[in-house]
């Protein structure tokens, strides 16, 4: 009887969808952490990540996205930059200046060996840099040219970006969004915004292994994958934003569970250490800053520890968070598309 007594109210709460009742976590925010040189005018912050030394990498939509005139085809160039800062926010350097694959910044992540991985949404490439900023590995291929006017974003095989459609077994991406690794170094790519709706797995040498997923809302189906993260056991957490859930798989793509009470997961992160936490942002869309925007802190099994923040333009408010770095449990960095900034958050 006692057991039943405790479970019932919790189940009722869950069923009524009152996830807004998650406890509020107090936090402080520093919106002026990064010190830019005069020559750097940063735009939308798509990705932010730290390495083991505390260096901060920012992949940002900065500069002028440009289409140039060719003999018969228009070519896309530029529009995104990758910057490195030290742990105090002091500018260190630019990486990948004028790189062929830097078009529309989507994400940056740092692997356990401190390699810096960039995901570009428009070149549909995943680019691995070593600590010295040299390109080590490329996944996907930038389409040779653009079509003007562009076909619809969800058009199959848009602009020659690989075989069409959900679950395509291919090493070519369509608007990929994120990258993660397991302990063996296998690479998992969230793919992504476009007509593909799948997770693509590669071995550590970059050889395609398999992919899983399809467009839809059933288990193992996706609708706009915004992020991916792995825990130390090798489970794969997928931010299935369009379906308002995080799906959890084993490393072979077998469905395990889903987390459904955290809004639309638009950026996720799993902290390191013996007790891992999952962070997930219910980011507001650019056209609305009056709803949503909060970030959830969860246990890996989906239980919510609390939430913090809301959409807005002030410090301590969030403008379309696209990235969370959570190398330390209660010290987060968030990258905002809407407010063109990185904030450092300290949870209490």
Partner 1 sequence: MKVLFPATAALCALVWAQALPAQSKAKAQNVPEIPYDSVPNLIKMPANLYLGEAMGVATNSKGHFFVFTRSNTTRLFEFDASGNYVREIGEGSYGFEFAHSVRVDPEDNIWVVDEGTNLVIKFNPAGRVVMVIGHRPDVVAGAVATTNAPAPPAQKYILGRPTDVAWDPQGNIFVSDGYINNRVVKYDKNGRFLAQVGTEKAGNGKTELNLPHGIAVDAKGDVYVADRSNHRLQVFDNNLGFKASYDNIGDSWTVCVSPGPHQYLFTSNSNPNGNAPGTWETTGEIYKMELDGTILGRFGHASKQPGGFQVVHMMDCRNPNEIYVAEIESWRVQKLLLKPHAEAKK
Q: Which residues bind partner 1 (CB under 8 A)?
A: 36, 38-39, 41-44, 60-65, 67, 79, 103-104, 121-122, 146-150, 153, 175, 193, 286-290, 312-314, 319, 338-341
Q: Smallest gap, in angstroms, from Cβ of residue 254 to partner 1?
A: 32
Tell how strand 221-222 and strand 225-230 pair up. Answer: unpaired
Nearer to partner 1, 247 or 281 (CB): 281
Q: Smallest gap, in angstroms, from Cβ of residue 151 to partner 1?
A: 8
Nearer to partner 1, 43 or 206 (CB): 43
Nearer to partner 1, 146 or 305 (CB): 146
Nearer to partner 1, 143 or 280 (CB): 143
Nearer to partner 1, 221 or 284 (CB): 284
Q: Smallest gap, in angstroms, from Cβ of residue 35 to partner 1?
A: 10
| Category of 63 on φ-ψ map: left (φ > 0), alpha (ψ -120 to 50) or beta | left
Q: Smallest gap, in angstroms, from Cβ of residue 163 to partner 1?
A: 19
Nearer to partner 1, 107 or 221 (CB): 107
Nearer to partner 1, 146 or 329 (CB): 146
Q: Smallest gap, in angstroms, from Cβ of residue 208 to partner 1?
A: 24
Instruction: Give the C-alpha separation, 240 to 219, whole Å.
Output: 11
What is the SS3 string spanning 78-142?
A: CCCEEEEECCCCEEEEEECCCCCCCCCEEEEEECCCCCEEEEECCCCEEEEECCCCCEEEEECCC
Name residue, tokens 């934003």: 241
308-340 per-residue burial string, b: 16 or more CB within 10 A, e: under 16: bbbbbeeeebbbbbbbbbbbeeeebbbbbbbbb
Q: Smallest gap, in angstroms, from Cβ of residue 217 to partner 1?
A: 24
Nearer to partner 1, 157 or 312 (CB): 312
Q: Smallest gap, in angstroms, from Cβ of residue 33 to partner 1?
A: 13
Residue 348 DSSP code: -
Instruction: Give the C-alpha separation, 125 to 118, whole Å.
Output: 8
Q: Smallest gap, in angstroms, from Cβ of residue 143 to partner 1?
A: 11
Residue 43 DSSP code: -
Are 45 and 322 a contacting pair, CB within 8 Å?
A: yes
How far apart, in Å, are the Cα atoms of 59 and each of 121, 147, 292, 306?
12, 25, 24, 28
Instruction: Give the C-alpha separation, 342 to 45, whole Å.
Output: 7
Q: Smallest gap, in angstroms, from Cβ of residue 36 to partner 1?
A: 8
**Residue 36 tokens, joined:** 């830019």
Nearer to partner 1, 147 or 204 (CB): 147
Helices (H), 145-283: none
Instruction: Give the C-alpha separation, 60 to 183, whole Å.
Output: 28
CB atoms within 10 A of CB 303: 12
């Amino acid at each position: 009887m006692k057991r039943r007594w405790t479970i019932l109210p919790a189940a009722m709460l869950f069923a009524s969808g009152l996830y807004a009742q998650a406890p509020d976590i107090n936090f402080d925010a520093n919106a002026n952490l990064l010190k830019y040189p005069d020559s750097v005018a940063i735009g939308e912050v798509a990705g932010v990540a730290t390495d083991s030394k505390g260096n901060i990498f920012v992949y940002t939509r900065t500069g002028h996205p440009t289409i140039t005139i060719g003999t018969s085809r228009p070519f896309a160039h530029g529009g995104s930059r990758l910057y490195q800062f030290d742990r105090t926010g002091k500018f260190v350097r630019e990486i990948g200046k004028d790189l062929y694959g830097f078009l529309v910044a989507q994400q940056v992540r740092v692997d356990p060996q401190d390699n810096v991985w960039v995901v570009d949404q428009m070149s549909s490439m995943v680019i691995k840099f070593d600590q010295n900023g040299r390109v080590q590995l490329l996944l996907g291929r930038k389409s040779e040219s653009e079509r003007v006017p562009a076909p619809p974003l969800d058009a199959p095989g848009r602009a020659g970006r690989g075989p069409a459609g959900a679950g395509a077994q291919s090493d070519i991406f369509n608007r990929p969004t994120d990258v993660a690794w397991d302990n063996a170094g296998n690479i998992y790519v969230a793919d992504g915004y476009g007509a593909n709706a799948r997770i693509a797995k590669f071995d550590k040498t970059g050889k395609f292994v398999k992919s899983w997923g399809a467009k839809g809302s059933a288990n193992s189906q996706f609708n706009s994958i915004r992020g991916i993260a792995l825990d130390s056991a090798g489970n794969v957490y997928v931010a299935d934003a369009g379906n308002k859930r995080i799906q959890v798989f084993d490393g072979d793509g077998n469905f395990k569970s889903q987390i459904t009470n955290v809004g639309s997961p638009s950026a996720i992160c799993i902290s390191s250490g013996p007790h891992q936490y999952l962070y997930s942002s219910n980011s507001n869309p650019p056209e609305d800053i009056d709803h949503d925007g909060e970030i959830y802190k969860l246990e890996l099994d989906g239980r919510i520890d609390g939430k913090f923040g809301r959409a807005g333009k002030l410090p301590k408010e969030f403008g379309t968070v696209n990235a969370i770095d959570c190398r330390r449990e209660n010290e987060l960095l968030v990258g905002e598309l809407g407010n063109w900034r990185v904030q450092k958050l300290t949870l209490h």
